[in-house]
Amino acid sequence: MASQPFDFFQQMRRGFGQILDSAASDGEAETTALAGRAFGWFESNIAQHGRELEPLACARGCPTCCALRVTATAPEIFTIADYVRKVSATPQGARLALAKRILATDARTRGMAPEDRLASGIACPILFEGVCVLHPVRTLACRGHAAYVAAQCQGAARGEDVTVELSEPHHTLRALVQNALQAALRDKGLAWGLYELNHALALALEDTTRREAWLAGEDSLAPAAVDEADLAALAALFDAMPAPA
C-alpha cells in the first residue's frame, strides 16, 4: 500500500480512470477489468499487511455471515453476472441452477432492511454446502468482512447481543478500494452508487442490455440501489480532492 491512505486512494482512482479511458472493445472486458483491478488491489495489499494480524476465524466452509445483506458497485455486479453465465454453461454449473437460485432468493429478500435480512437466516444463493461457488469474483464487501472469533459471528447470527471483533485493516482497505472505484466512475459520468447484490444480479441476469446502458451513463441498476452511504457527502469529499494527474 502507498505510504499514506490518500496517496493509495489517488493511485487507485487514477488506475481505474485509465481503464475507463482505454476504450475497451466491449463492455464485458471493461467491467471485468475494473472489478479485477479492485479485487487484485485488495488481495495484494491485505496479503502484504495482513501478516501482522491475529489469525482470522474466516475459513472455507464457514457461511455464518452469508445471510448479511451485501452491497456492490456496478462493475462488480456485471462481473459476477458474467461469471454466473459462464459457470452455468458447464454441465456441473447447469445442475447448480445459479441464476434460478439468485432470482428466487431476490424474490424473498428484496426490500428487506439489513437487520431483517440477517434475522431471516436466508442464505446467499451462491452458497453450496457452505462454500461460495463464485469465490474468485466475490464482492469487495465480502472480502472486507473478516472476523477473529467464530463464536461471536454465530451468536450475532442467532440474534444475540454480542460484539463481533472484525478486522479493521480489512474494513479500511475495502473502503479505500471501493471509494476509489466510485470516485473514478463518478469522474467519468457513470452511476457510482451501491446496489443490493441479489436484486442487482437478478436485474443483470434477466436483461443483458443493462451493462451497455450503464456504460452509456444510465443508472440501469437503479431499482437495486441502496442508500447505505450519503452519496452527497461522499461526492463533496471527492470534489475536495485534487483530480489525479
Q: Determine whether 49 is exposed, middle or buried from the number of CB atoms within 10 Å of its CB (0-12, 13-18, 19+).
A: middle
Residue 3 has pLDDT above 70, yes or no: no
* Most confident of the following: 39-53, 94-108, 224-238: 94-108
Instruction: Write the pLDDT tens digit of every residue in 147-170.
Output: 767 777 677 777 777 777 777 888
DSSP three-state, residue 71 = strand
Question: How sure is the predictor about 68, in pLDDT bands with cuts at 50, 70 and 90?
Answer: confident
Q: How far apart are CA 146 and CA 116, in angstroms?
A: 21
Domain count, the chain: 1
Q: What is the per-residue pLDDT for 199?
A: 97
Question: How sure is the predictor about 89, in pLDDT bands with cuts at 50, 70 and 90?
Answer: very high
Q: What is the per-residue pLDDT for 203?
A: 98
Does 245 reside within a domain? Answer: no
- Looking at per-residue pLDDT, the higher value among 123 and 108 belongs to 108
Residue 197 CA: distances (Å) to CA of 161, 171, 224: 26, 18, 8
- Looking at per-residue pLDDT, the higher value among 231 and 230 belongs to 231
Does 123 reside within a domain? Answer: yes
Q: How far apart are CA 197 and CA 135, in angstroms?
A: 14
Does 39 reside within a domain? Answer: yes
Does 211 reside within a domain? Answer: yes
Question: How sure is the predictor about 181, in pLDDT bands with cuts at 50, 70 and 90?
Answer: very high
Does 155 reside within a domain? Answer: yes
Quote the cell numbers at residue 53. 494480524
Task: Provide the domain limits for residue 20.
Answer: 5-240
Does 147 reside within a domain? Answer: yes
Q: What is the per-residue pLDDT for 25?
A: 62
